[in-house]
Amino acid sequence: MLADIQNLPSREVIEQEMLWRKAVSFRLHPLGFVQWAYPCGKPGSLEKYSGPDDWQTDFLPQLGEEVRERNFDGVTPVLPIRFTTSSDHGIGKRAFIPLGIVYWIALAIARYLLGRRWARVAV
């Protein structure tokens, strides 16, 4: 019995697993991911912001729909998604791409790597 208890994952491992599962649940929903991963209006560096800008809130669901139509799984290559945004300076286009979209796409790829390949590497 004591040996079974000693083999249980630590609280930190369980919390990381729960966090991972929550993040991966947004695999096809980039707006939900950005709203969850960047908690605007809460204490911290984003507390003075109410959420994504209007153009971002319009763009992200469109991106999610394009991803769903292509059946993107993070592994199998799909046709590129192309969007354009024209605007004045300073609306956050440059920061938005690496913070929101790249991290969101990385989740799909990491899901594959951690879920399938690491099992083979560990053998």
Q: How confident is the model at residue 122 (pLDDT cuts 50, 70, 90)?
A: very low
Examine residue 32 and state whether it is found in any structural domain, yes or no: yes
Examine residue 8 and state whether it is found in any structural domain, yes or no: no
As for how many domains the chain has, the answer is: 1
107, HSE (Cβ side, Cα atoms, 13 Å): 20
Containing structural domain, residue 54: 27-122
Q: How far apart are CA 11 and CA 77, in angstroms?
A: 37
To the question of pTM greater than 0.75 for the whole model, the response is no
* 53-99 pLDDT per residue, tens: 888 888 889 989 998 999 887 778 888 888 777 666 655 555 556 56
Examine residue 71 and state whether it is found in any structural domain, yes or no: yes
Q: How confident is the model at residue 40 (pLDDT cuts 50, 70, 90)?
A: confident
Q: Report helix, strand and coil shares of the chain as percent, to nearest 5.
A: 60, 0, 40
40, HSE (Cβ side, Cα atoms, 13 Å): 11
Examine residue 111 and state whether it is found in any structural domain, yes or no: yes
